[in-house]
Amino acid sequence: MRLKRGELIHVVGHTGGVVEYAEPSAVDPRRTGGVGTLFSAFQLVSLAGGRLAVRGGSRVVTTFADVAGNAISDVLGGFAFSPIGVIVVAHSAAADKHYAYALRATDMQFALPVGTETEAGSRAELGWATATIGRPVAVEYFEKLYVVDASRTSRRDLAVVNLNAGALQVTNPSHNIDTPGVGVGPIQAYTIAAYNGVLFIAGYDSESGGQEPAILRHSFLGRDPSDPAGFDRDAYALIGAKGVYITAMVPGNSILLVAKESELYRITGTPKAFEGWHFGISPLDNTLGLGCTNPHALAHAAGWFYGVGSAGPWRSDGYRVELLKRGRDAAWGQVQNSLELATVTWHPERRRVLFGFCAVPDEAPEIFWKWDVDREQWDATDAFLSQIHQTRAIESNVAADTQAPAGLAQSFSFADHRATALTGTFTPGSTLAKTEVWLRHASLGSVQVATLDEGLARFTIDAVALGLDLKFEACFVKLRHITGGVWSEFTGEVEFYPRLRPPVFKISHISGTPNIRRIAVTNYANNSLVQNLYGDEAAHASWLEDWLDAPAGDSTSDADPDTPVSGQTRRYELTIEQPAFVGHEESGLATLSTFFIPNSTLPNAPWQDMAQDLALDRIHLQFMPAGFSPASYEVQYRVTGSGGGYTTATTYAPPASPATLESQRITITGLAASQKYDVRIVQTNGGTFASADVVMFTKLEAPTVAVAQGGLSSPDVDITVTVPASGDGKDVRVYSASNVAGTPGYNQLFVAQTAGAHVYNSTAGTCDVRDQYFACMVDSTWPAEWTHSDVASDEIEDPCL
Amino acid sequence: MIPLYGFKRSSNTVIQLDDQSVVTDEGAPMSFPNFVTSFVDLGPAGGTARLRRVAQTVTLFGNATIRLVPRVNESEDFSQAETFSLSPVNGTQQVVELYPALTGTRFAIQIEVLLATGPLWFGECDIELVPKRSTVRA
């Protein structure tokens, strides 16, 4: 209701900012577009549309448990770390330790080990074993987080945090700066920043010079700064007056702004991989005596540097600086407490710079002034019940839009279907993202087993390298991309299964009549394998023994007790089956022959033991002695087709009693790779009686491969494959990883290649997308699992010039 | 909204700040949100006037209790303050009106949020002054 004679002052919104003691004529909404300014404001925030809103509340998102009974007493800071999300540094006064915790940026929960995250698995000691708290300042540089301590007394050593084999690792490296080769020491810098490809540390001279507040050093371009030689002794400069601290450093606006307590400097330039200092140094045009009180009192936001010094909050474009205290003088008088603990934090989405102050002399801020970077004015002040060492806006999903990989499938091509290795292909959702490969197996749980480089779409899980016995059980594989520390969704799990190998078995005679052969077949685990035992001799073709869901260990059967007939041979063949492995349900045959009645002068033929891996220099075989002592056996071999004499590999003297006669496992060593051998058993008692030759194989030796860009601006890759001498005359298969749903972009078989280097050319692939090439030797006359050698590979970052 | 995290002193916790999903600070009532407008007057040489009406628009998504306190010549006058209990049942857009009768040369409004169980916004505001008869207008 309007009043008679009343004069109306209409305020369209209280969003004109906080201006203390402003003269009405200066802030009258009738003169300032209707927007009202505020004398003071707390716990509010200006929104669009002239609304002044009550700020949101605060809530606990992460709680750290006691460590070995010692409570975490302070949470000192958090730093975005792209390989994981966030690294939080905390302190336990009871334990006299500082800890680094790896948290996910998405929800601030424990991040490691990925898939089975635990607090203990996400924690590592920082190497700061002190009862008092440190002041961590950190910067990420090439997938490592460098943490220094902004303490002026009892300063702690540089800590380097990184991921190593999926676990959080912290090191406190020693450096050799002053006199290379003589003495090392830990870096004890006051603050740290990354700028133009190198790391800057301030407040540290060298292992002999110790701490020096005004010295600024940069790392050697191209060297890992955590390496002892990561800093060159001459790459330093004295900034301003000696003895006066460099307090803060932040890159922005193409410079590194270096602050002292009442000075500001511009660092500009580009480093080179030479010794010495490579940057220009100049003070700002008008420093005004402004500076920063500590490393956390400086931030770069929306084209401006914002800082807090003893004279108040300020901003700078990197050339000039202006004080922002005007209009807040009264409030400034109330927050000039413990300014050495003041913080400046940028929140890009709220478009506010938060200046953290202590309401009273204390140990951490709880009052936060908010500077509105768009309206260029002070917004309402926030006051929290808690004291906060640091505040940080941490984005949770910068790359969440990355599509998950697609078309994940097991590969049965080439040499891919192995008993101890699983190979898969897929189509990347993004060629800019790395790909994590995860495996779930009954004896392993779900674990990450590999990370593929960007653009690659083929992987092999080597169970031997993982120390994992696949036990012929189905495995489940899933993938997800990771880019910028953020993961895509997982693909669905896809069933992979290893190749079924012929079973391990043994024949033994049992005393008595008839002469029963006992056959023991080893099952690998409590899986659902079906094991079949066949007797193939014509008169006993119907003899069959199956074990369904065979238990782990040996299953035994006493084979076909029938009338002994001298000179009759039995051959036993065994397979294992897994009906779930559609298309690959049955293993190859394991075979052993034996004379029905022991003590024949003729030996039984040997069998290559295919239950084991083929080897480059040896052959594993089994044979059943046909007689007992005084029979004597030799295992002999020669290169197939050589027509030469045999070499005796070893001898075997059987026991005197037939009751203890059993099949023997023999290994012939000292053989050549990629070779076929005729192997036979010779009985030498009372003459020389040889079994038939059996062709056995050593493993095909792999070639080497190196790829290089071929010179064209379109995909052009030269693939140099070196065929080993043992592979002379064999075929070479070359294929690439660039694939869509399992089809390699490049796939060629080169027949009958001579030993030595061969260069092949590929025009497959996509410019700017990494690719990988594989090469292996091929001989189709080798046993099924071993027709291809192991695969050699090499990557090319860009197939185009 | 990108979360804003705070790393607490004398604590084993990380907190999220300015989280619109909660209206308390870690379960405890937030220190009262409040603001004081800059002083207004009737212009250069405007002389004395009486503050007679304040109308403040409020948008609320939960129950709220707010208090309007008039300020004259840089001091509060709680004797003419008024507390309003608001509920969104009566509409999310509401106007609270205060009818003080205070004489002075400069006037401001102090608004305090005593309770807010949901988001609460302040929008437009009218401040109505009645010039004193003896005032000589510029």
DSSP, residue by residue, B48-104: -EEEEEEEEEEEESS-EEEEEEEEETTEE-GGG-EEEEE-GGG-SEEEEEE---EEE
A74/B10 touch (CB, cutoff 8 Å), yes or no = yes
Contact A40 B35 (CB under 8 A): yes
Q: Which has more pLDDT, A477 or A117? A: A477
Least confident among A122-136, A205-219, A564-578, A782-796: A564-578
Strand partners, A523: A553
Task: Write out chain B residues lying below 8 Å of A296, CB-based.
Answer: none
Q: Give contacts of B 25-54 with A, CB under 8 A.
A: 25-28, 30-44, 49, 52-53
For chain A, positions 27-66, list CB contacts with chain B under 8 A. 27-29, 36-45, 47, 49-65
Report the candidate in A186, A118, A92, A103 with the shortest Cα–Cα distance to residue A147: A186
**Cβ neighbour number for residue A115 with a 10 Å cutoff:** 14
- Residue A106 neighbours by CB under 8 Å, 6+ apart: A85, A396, A397, A486
B124-138 pLDDT per residue, tens: 999 999 988 665 554
pLDDT band with cut points at 50, 70 and 90 for residue A395 = confident
The shortest CB-CB distance from B38 to any of A13, A19, A50 is to A19
What would the pLDDT profile of A558-601 be if each residue is shown by its tens digit? 765 555 555 666 677 777 877 778 888 888 777 776 665 556 77
Write the residue in A14, A75, A391 that is nearest to B125 by C-beta.
A14
User: For all residues of chain A together, what is the average pLDDT?
Assistant: 87
- In chain A, whose CA is at the least distance from the CA of B13? A63
B32-131 to CATH, choices 2.60.120, 1.10.730, 1.10.260, 3.30.1360: 2.60.120
Of the listed ranges A274-283, A504-513, A523-532, A711-720, the one predicted with least confidence: A523-532
Predicted confidence at residue A316, as pLDDT, reads: 96
Partner residue facing A57 (CB), from B5, B24, B130? B24
Indicate the domain borders of chain B.
1-31, 32-131
Of the two residues A445 and A192, the one the predictor is more confident about is: A192
Taking the C-alpha atoms of residue B11 and residue A296, their distance in angstroms, rounded to an integer, is 20
In single-letter form, the type of residue at position A87 comes to I
Q: A347 in contact with B at a CB cutoff of 8 Å?
A: yes
pLDDT over 60 at A542, yes or no: no
Rounded to two decimals, the pTM is 0.62
Total residue length of chain B? 138
In chain A, what residues touch B44 (CB-CB under 8 Å)?
A: 25
SS3 A152: coil
Q: A399 falls in which pLDDT band (50, 70, 90)?
A: very low
Across the interface, whether the CB atoms of B39 and A39 are under 8 A apart is answered: yes
Q: Which residues of A349-378 are buried (b: 16+ CB within 10 A; e: fewer)?
A: ebbbbbbbbbeeeeebbbbbbbbbbeeebb
Interface contacts A/B by beta carbons within 8 Å:
262
pLDDT tens figures, A416-430: 888 889 999 998 887
Give me the pLDDT at residue A538, please.
46
pLDDT value at B107 more than 50: yes
Contact A64 B10 (CB under 8 A): no
In this prediction, what percent of chain A has a pLDDT beyond 70? 90
CB contact under 8 A, B53 and A390: no
Closest CA to A202 of A252, A246, A148, A256: A246
| Contact map slice: A 382-411 vs B, CB within 8 A | 382-396
Phi-psi region of A761 (alpha: psi -120 to 50; beta: other; left: phi over 0): beta
* pLDDT tens digits, one per residue of A747-768: 999 999 999 999 999 998 888 8
Is pLDDT larger for residue A157 or for residue A519? A157
